[in-house]
Amino acid sequence: MAAEAAPQVVRVDGRPAEAVSALDRGLHYGDGLFETIACLRGRPRLLPLHLERLAQGCARLGIAFPGREALRGEILTVAGGSERAIVKVLLTRGVAAARGYAVQGSETPTCLVLRYAFAEEDPRMTLAGVRVRLAAQRLGENPSLAGLKHLNRLEQVLARREWSDPGIAEALMFSVSGRLVSGVMSNVFLVEDSRLRTPRLDRCGVAGVMRAAAMRAAQRAGIAVEECALGGEDLARAREVFLTSALIGARPVRELDGRALAAGEVTRAIQVALAPLLAGDADG
């Protein structure tokens, strides 16, 4: 394991640990949720949105939510003392009391918190943008899981296996019915006629916290933004395309499946509007 890539801190249920129970339902069924949080100078960025998504995810899956204060404390403990860090929180339903899918209701959630290095932003990524491909791997559609950042991520693993060229930053994914959904690890926005459009996530996809922040920023900047069903033709027509995630903020796409694109006015306006938040000076 490259020392740089390995986690710097690993805690399980509030204590330093390197392992979880072999009976954890997160391992057996992907029965849990996660968050990936960018931290600057020990401060987790967009923390209220991350905690809110986790709380809502727990409610939808019927997992006992440990509470915002407890989670905030764990995240601050792990983020503390580092200039830049990525904190990953993984929350599962807990240890299985018996074999099988059935939930007992008495499970105590397992809370895993990891800290990783957060490399300095490469300004070329932010300004010129990134190269993006189209994934062959499709996303299944299921409204009951749509929007959740849950632990069933085999589709993303398979999509990410499609390329190894480090010059490609991301791949856009379509659903089995042909809808544009997101990147493998980011959300996507299209610009058409000075209007922002992003896939509606009612059938699949993860409702990203930076996606929410970007939509709010657009509204504040007077840019119309719409969540809707989008397909390959919308992507082909888009004048600007950008990606969002908690880690990258908003990044223009400068090449999409071989087609050259450039960040235009709308993408720049969103980047400017998000800048204070990305610098850690605002709570978004």
Residue 195 CB partners (closer than 8 Å, separation 6+): 223, 224, 225, 226
Q: Give me the least distance between CB of 153 and a second copy, in Å please.
A: 4
Of 27-35, 37-45, 125-133, 215-223, the window that binds a second copy (rule: CB under 8 A) is 27-35
Rule CB under 8 A: is residue 76 a binding residue for a second copy? no
CA distance 74 to 66: 11
Nearer to a second copy, 198 or 245 (CB): 245
CA distances from 204 to 35, 52, 229 (A): 17, 19, 12
Distance CA 150, CA 83 (A): 28
CA–CA separation, 246 vs 225, rounded Å? Answer: 19
Note whether 14 binds a second copy by CB under 8 A: no
Q: For a second copy, which is the closer residue by CB, 9 or 55?
A: 9
Cβ contact 33:151 at 8 Å: yes
Yes or no: say if 239 and 264 are a contact pair by the CB < 8 Å rule: yes
The helix (H) or strand (E) run that includes residue 123 is helix 123-127
x-or-dash string of contact with a second copy, 167-206, rule CB under 8 A: ---------x-------xx------------------x--
114 forms bridges with which residues in the sheet? 10, 88
Instruction: Report residue 130 as tokens.
Output: 């990134």
Indicate whether 22 belongs to the interface with a second copy (CB under 8 A): yes
- Using the minimum distance from each CB to a second copy, give the nearer residue, 76 or 151: 151
Q: Which is nearer to a second copy, 20 or 55 (CB)?
A: 20
Q: Compute the least distance from the CB of residue 23 to a second copy, in Å.
A: 7
Which one of the spans 17-25, 206-214, 238-246, 265-273 is the region binding a second copy (CB under 8 A)?
17-25
Comparing CB distances to a second copy, the nearer of 129 and 183 is 183
Q: Which of residues 141-170 bind a second copy (CB under 8 A)?
A: 141-145, 150-161
DSSP label of 281 = S
Instruction: Look at residues 97, 114, 87, 78 and name the one whose alpha carbon lies nearest to residue 31.
Output: 97
260 is a contact residue toward a second copy (CB under 8 A): no
Instruction: List interacting residues with a second copy (CB under 8 A).
Output: 1-2, 5-7, 10, 12, 17-31, 34, 36, 61-62, 86, 88, 90, 92-93, 95, 97-103, 112, 114, 116, 137-145, 150-161, 176, 184-185, 204
